[in-house]
Amino acid sequence: DYYNSFYKKTGLTDRIRTPFMWDITVSNLVSMAICGLVFWILTLLLEYGFFYSPKIPDALPFSHLDEDEDVAQIRRQVVNKTIDDNILVMSNLSKCYRTKRHKKLIAVNNLCLGIRSGECFGLCGVNGAGKTTTFRMLIGDLYPTAGYAQIHGFDSMKQKRQVFKYIGYCPQFDALFDELTPVEHMLLMARLRGIYWQDESQHVLQLLKRLDLCEYLTVPVGKLSLGNRRKLSTAMALVGDPSVVFLDEPTSGMDPSSRRFLWNVIRRLIKEGKSIILTSHR
């Protein structure tokens, strides 16, 4: 502006420059657009395993000597694929990590399980027992070291797009934005799940009513209690009417009354035929 004013006063109008000249802003805008497109494509390629598709063995070396008979029976049924009505199947699902001293740390060890429609299954254990790691492998967020998981016959790692249609996930720690309201969170999730815009408002309000959040519709999430935040995370997991719902410690931080309310909601979901997989350290 200073130079342009000087050129205007001195009559050197041919030297006046606009902000839209190539070397001032246009070159930066073009490079930003190109970088955005390139990184968007790179993100898609990484998400679908274009650069990295590990060969996952069927199972880790495992001793069955101390295994209970009923557990061994389920393992044989899953491995031999003798049960056809399971919605969710885990076959020798395993995850190993390397410590700083290059030692092998087994977080999940050859987990075999089959869950039918309308069943509720709980993973119980202390913090660090591998519950969240198991969930992350089931929803396709973490590659297993060995074994596989299938939901409605689709591999959780190789067929993510099909798997995502059937699952809902409530994480252990609330993935919420303090500035947004419960309605805005639910509408955002509804649009991510591909619900038609004509139906999204009714669907969202039904879920918020079901989780007893109607009086907090326009309250920023940052002002909600921990119990109501957990209810909202559970409601978001139910968007799109998934047939398999993963709840990672859904009642943590809740008071006894809210905890009982949420358990009743889960019972009704089971009666509707949904498969519920939840974790708890209690």
Per-residue pLDDT reduced to its tens digit, 126-157: 777 788 888 888 888 888 888 888 888 888 88
Q: Which two tokens stand for residue 56?
A: 């996952």
- Please check the confidence at residue 19 and state whether its pLDDT lies above 80: no
CATH class of 170-280: alpha beta
Average pLDDT over residues 101-116: 81
**The predicted structure's pLDDT at residue 270:** 92
Find the Cα–Cα–Cα–Cα dihedral 209, 278, 152, 145, rounded to 10°: 140
**The predicted structure's pLDDT at residue 51:** 67
Report the mean per-residue pLDDT for the chain.
83
pTM here is 0.75
**The predicted structure's pLDDT at residue 100:** 72
Find the Cα–Cα–Cα–Cα dihedral 121, 168, 160, 58, rounded to 10°: -10
Segment among 17-21, 31-35, 192-196, 243-247 with least mean pLDDT:
17-21
Q: Which of 153, 158, 170, 163 is nearest to 277 (CA)?
A: 170
Per-residue pLDDT reduced to its tens digit, 149-202: 888 888 888 888 888 889 999 888 888 899 999 999 999 999 988 888 888 899
Average pLDDT over residues 116-125: 86
Q: Which of 48, 242, 272, 87 is nearest to 164 (CA)?
A: 242
Burial class from Cβ neighbours inside 10 Å (0-12, 13-18, 19+) for residue 73 reads exposed
DSSP string, 161-210: HHHHTTEEEE-SS----TTS-HHHHHHHHHHHTT--HHHHHHHHHHHHHH
| CA angle in degrees (0–180, nearest 5) for 123-233-191 | 120
What are the residue boundaries of the structural domains of the chain, listed by start? 2-47, 69-163, 170-280
Q: Which of 192, 180, 263, 277 is nearest to 227 (CA)?
A: 263
170-280: same fold as 69-163? Answer: yes
**The predicted structure's pLDDT at residue 132:** 85
Measure the CA–CA gap between 167 and 247, rounded to whole angstroms.
11
Per-residue pLDDT reduced to its tens digit, 36-76: 999 999 988 877 767 666 665 555 666 565 667 767 777 77
**The predicted structure's pLDDT at residue 25:** 79
Per-residue pLDDT reduced to its tens digit, 238-274: 998 899 999 988 888 788 888 899 899 999 999 998 9
Q: What are phi and psi of 84, to 5 degrees?
A: -100, -15
Contact 115, 85 (CB under 8 A): no
Fold of the domain spanning 69-163: Rossmann fold (3.40.50)
**The predicted structure's pLDDT at residue 190:** 92
**The predicted structure's pLDDT at residue 138:** 86
**The predicted structure's pLDDT at residue 271:** 92
Average pLDDT over residues 205-210: 92
Tell the residue number behind the tokens 């809210």, with chain if given.
258
Angle between helix axes 182-192 and 226-237 (nearest 10 degrees) is 20
